[in-house]
Amino acid sequence: MAIAKNPDYKRIATEEAWAPTHIIERFQKLVGTIGDPGFDSLWGFYSTSPSQRAQQVFARLQDLGERRLADMDACGIDVAVLSLTSPGVQCFDAATATSLARVANDELAEACRQRPDRFAAVASFGPLEPANAAKEIERAVSQLGMKGAIFNSHTHGQYLSDPKFWDIFAVCEQLQVPLYLHPQTPPPAMIKPFLEAGLDGAVFGFGVETGLHMLRILTSGVFDRFPKLQMCIGHMGEALPYWMYRLDYMHGVTVRSKRYECLQPLQRRISDYLKENVYVTSSGYGWEPAIRFAQQELGVDRVLYAMDYPYEYEADEVRALDSMNIPLADKKKFFQTNAERIFRL
Ligand code: 1DF
Ligand code: MN
């Protein structure tokens, strides 16, 4: 049975994946050619597996019309904040990534213009050309009306903690739009023990890789340099909220011991940045205890809803979150008003 609209709040889902056919075809051609076993595992599966999961994800990803709207209606989702699916343009060479990001952003913005009542979007960019990436984010936000930017963790094994990428943080801070750190598979240097156990994907590898990336950004001093920058991470913060106490303690003692040249003192604690510069979405988490923990430790203004369509399309999860035992005012923040404020919908 379809989930009805809720009279008290809109449901805004904030990590919803899309991919145009031409980019999926490029993914298919890239499998086995770029020396990235994670990419091969992920896109080898989705583009060739006869399983129902792969077939359904594959079809749903490519739809920005009736099918997607019907699926949103069936689960009571009022608005989807869309993005190009992982790894986005980051599996391509630098120049291809820059030009494909522009094309994908134009396509996604057009879909949002068709259905401004149902769709909003965040912009892709090619991190390996940081100046062009910043220009594209600026264009996407100020000319296309996109609501922020998104990247899918490492780019050919590189992390945005490296200052050569910091133009990207600068433009997001300056435009006052959120920068969403979305998962992808661990890079070649990390993936072997994950892959040999079948744990490289969304089950665990994604979270480890993405939590690591967020932590590298935090410890590199990005938020001391860009104190107004706001980032988003999915999957209830990729486990980082649960780590906060230990991160504060061990990061603190490690820095004070001067053990690593690369680990310099920060102005605030790790947990302070997580509470003041990071939003957490519930993608892939139909689980009240985790959401309540994040709300308690980060604040109810920092935790917002995401479904992770089409990778996690479960009406029962919407029902479970709808019936969370929290004040209605907090539920409205979770489903609606936090997203409206952060993405300026
Ligand atoms: C999967 C999950 C794939 C997520 C995704 O993009 C993705 C998956 C390719 O289950 O294979 O975005 N996710 O965010 O959990
Ligand atoms: Mn996702």
- How close is the Cα of 8 to the center of ligand 1, in Å? 30
Instruction: For residue 260, tell me if it sits in a domain.
Output: yes
CA distance 255 to 265: 6
Residues in the 5 Å CB sphere of ion ligand 2 = 15, 308
Domain count, the chain: 1
Instruction: For residue 278, tell me if it sits in a domain.
Output: yes
Instruction: For residue 4, tell me if it sits in a domain.
Output: no
Q: Which amino acid is at 3?
A: I
- How close is the Cα of 53 to the center of ligand 2, in Å? 15
Task: With a cut of 90, say whether residue 1 has pLDDT above it.
Answer: no
CATH number at residue 193: 3.20.20.140
Work out which ligand 1 atom sits closest to the CA atom of 234: 14
278-336 pLDDT, tens digit per residue, is 999 999 999 999 999 999 999 999 999 999 999 999 999 999 999 999 999 999 999 99
Percent residues over pLDDT 90 in the chain: 100
Which one of 53, 203, 236, 308 would you pick to mutate in the ligand 1 pocket, going by the greatest count of ligand atoms within 8 A of its CB? 308
CA distance 10 to 76: 9
User: Which among 64, 84, 95 is positioned nearest to 184, based on CA atoms?
Assistant: 84
Instruction: For residue 1, tell me if it sits in a domain.
Output: no
Work out which ligand 1 atom sits closest to the CA atom of 17: 12
Token pair in block for residue 118: 């149902």
pLDDT at 345: 98
Quick one: 228 exposed, middle or buried, by C-beta within 10 A (0-12, 13-18, 19+)?
A: exposed
Protein residue with least CA distance to atom 12, ligand 1? 86
Instruction: For residue 221, tell me if it sits in a domain.
Output: yes
- How close is the Cα of 250 to the center of ligand 2, in Å? 30
Token pair in block for residue 49: 């597996």
Question: Could you tell me the residue range of the domain that residue 278 belongs to?
Answer: 12-343
Instruction: For residue 5, tell me if it sits in a domain.
Output: no
4-44 pLDDT, tens digit per residue, is 999 999 999 999 999 999 999 999 999 999 999 999 999 99
Longest dimension (CA), the chain: 59
Ligand 1 and 183: CB distance under 6 A: yes
Instruction: For residue 3, tell me if it sits in a domain.
Output: no
CA distance 284 to 307: 6
Neighbours of 242 (CB within 10 A): 16
In this structure, what are the phi and psi dihedrals at residue 231, rounded to the nearest 5 degrees?
Answer: -115, 160
Instruction: For residue 6, tell me if it sits in a domain.
Output: no
Mean pLDDT score of the chain: 98
CA distance 299 to 223: 19
**pTM value > 0.75:** yes
The single residue of 308, 316, 322, 330 carrying the catalytic annotation is 308
Query: 308 catalytic, yes or no?
Result: yes
Residue 316: partners with Cβ closer than 8 Å, 6 or more residues away: 286
